[in-house]
Amino acid sequence: MRTCASIPPMKYVLRYGALAMTLLSGTAFVSRALRLFLAHEKYRRVAPSSVGSFDALFAGVACFGFGRCYQILGRSKSDATSRTQTEIELAYVGFLFAWFCFIFLLHQMSPAPRGVSSSVLAAFVFVAAWGVASGIQIRKKLFRQSTESLPIDLSKALKLWKGAHFISFSIAMSIAGFGVALKFLGANWLVPTIFCGASLGFLLLWRPRQMAANTP
């Protein structure tokens, strides 16, 4: 009969699951890259549509993302601060992967441009700008409250720290969502490119931060 001690901790299950997915996506990336190279050598032109370069790029991104998850889980410790930091960093990788999924979706479906009215475009720009401005204020407020709570209440400090990051990631990702929505409404490629570029910029700018101290 198996005991609880014989059941592998969830951390190791997730870690080696991420390793397996890294190997699978890495294999897919190498396979597609080789097919692209061979197709290019054969036809001396852009590869046929059945061997898409964007598919190879997507597999490469997945390989990097799962590899990063494996690395994060490998250095995670059992204390509360380390667990919180691990959750934040894993979520960050997930948001970056979701951003690439948006790009992949636009590339695969590629709706025909029909034109978007200036009032609709201005409304999207206003909402995105308001979201970023609000996110900056909320982010600063939560980080400040987390720092003030750290010497007294570590649990509260960690919740505020995690909340500041998750709100930042969500707001940054919403900008890409607006770009995708505008593209499906009929905007030309320039509009979603600007929105998705701004989204990636804020994701990189608001990358995970480390807490200054763990305990009082």
| DSSP secondary structure string for all residues of 121-136 | HHHHHHHHHHHHHHHH
Mean pLDDT of 49-75: 70
The answer to the question of residue 200 being in a domain is yes
Q: How high is the pLDDT of residue 6?
A: 40
pLDDT tens per residue across span 32-42: 666 666 665 55
Q: Residue 127 above 90 pLDDT?
A: yes
The answer to the question of residue 181 being in a domain is yes
The answer to the question of residue 147 being in a domain is yes
Higher-confidence residue: 192 or 32? Answer: 192
> H or E element: which one contains 93?
helix 80-109
d(CA 69, CA 53): 25
The answer to the question of residue 51 being in a domain is no
The answer to the question of residue 13 being in a domain is no
pLDDT tens per residue across span 73-85: 777 777 788 888 8
pTM of the predicted structure, to 2 decimals: 0.77
Domains in the chain, number: 1
Lowest mean pLDDT among 51-55, 75-79, 155-159: 51-55
Question: Domain limits at 137?
Answer: 114-216
The answer to the question of residue 165 being in a domain is yes
The answer to the question of residue 45 being in a domain is no
The answer to whether the CB of 195 falls within 8 A of the CB of 175 is yes
The answer to the question of residue 39 being in a domain is no
The model's confidence at residue 131, banded by pLDDT at 50, 70 and 90, is: very high
Lowest mean pLDDT among 47-61, 69-83, 160-174: 47-61
> Residue 98's closest CA among 135, 61, 46?
61
